[in-house]
Amino acid sequence: MDQIKIGRFLKELRNEKILTQEQMAEQLNVSGRTVSRWETGRNMPDIGMLVELAEFFNVNISEIIDGERKSEKMNQEEKEMLLKVADYTENEQFMFMKRVFIISITGLVALLFALLLNLFELGKINLLFLCIEVICFGLAVGAMMTCIFFAGGILSKIRNNHKLRRIAYILRIICPIIIVICIVISIILTIFNN
């Protein structure tokens, strides 16, 4: 316990009630010298007096013992917590935007690659190139749909809905498996056609 801090707090409470030390002492049935010693931190009120002081100043006993109002301390703690939450949210938003950016770039690269394959008509030469071209177009469309879902707020609704999140998780596992199966089938067909 910091007696000086408690004394300052008692003096602050007395000043808020616009009382002199003598007036406060008179209302609490103690001497003015006793109040002075409390406020300087030389003496501490006994337990019974702490209860009276808490009632008199309309504060908690713990506030007197801590030498500060809890509401102000709580407000500071709330501000600190809100700042931490804001930082966390900002960081989470940054990571989410980073993922969407990566998906967008992947979709753009896939689209350009598919257009090049289509431009040089490599799909007609080899079935494997045709399969790669179709997969690249699929990736580009998937990336575009993801960006549209993000811009429309649909992805955040999916993230916040437990059932939709499960479906999205299952699709995240199934889609790459389907792509790998398509690639394997196209390789097998290419080998058997040659």
Residue where the block lists tokens 């040659």:
194
Query: Within this chain, do residues 106 and 165 fall inside the same structural domain, yes or no?
Result: yes
Query: Within this chain, do residues 20 and 37 fall inside the same structural domain, yes or no?
Result: yes
Query: Within this chain, do residues 60 and 84 fall inside the same structural domain, yes or no?
Result: no
Domain count, the chain: 2
Its domain, for residue 21, covers 3-68
Residues 6+ apart with CB under 8 A from 7: 38, 39, 40, 41, 42
Cα–Cα distance between 118 and 140 in angstroms, integer?
Answer: 14
pLDDT in tens for each of the 194 residues of the chain?
Answer: 788 999 999 999 999 999 999 999 999 999 989 999 999 988 888 888 888 898 899 888 888 888 888 765 555 665 677 667 777 778 878 887 888 889 889 999 999 998 998 899 887 887 778 878 888 888 888 888 888 877 777 767 776 777 777 877 787 788 778 878 877 777 777 677 76
What is the rounded (10 degree) CA torsion for 35, 38, 43, 46? Answer: 80
Among 52, 68, 84, the domain-final residue is: 68
Distance between first and last Cα of the chain: 88
Query: Within this chain, do residues 9 and 80 fall inside the same structural domain, yes or no?
Result: no
Query: Within this chain, do residues 96 and 50 fall inside the same structural domain, yes or no?
Result: no
The answer to pTM > 0.85 is no
Query: Within this chain, do residues 41 and 136 fall inside the same structural domain, yes or no?
Result: no
Cα–Cα distance between 111 and 179 in angstroms, integer?
Answer: 16
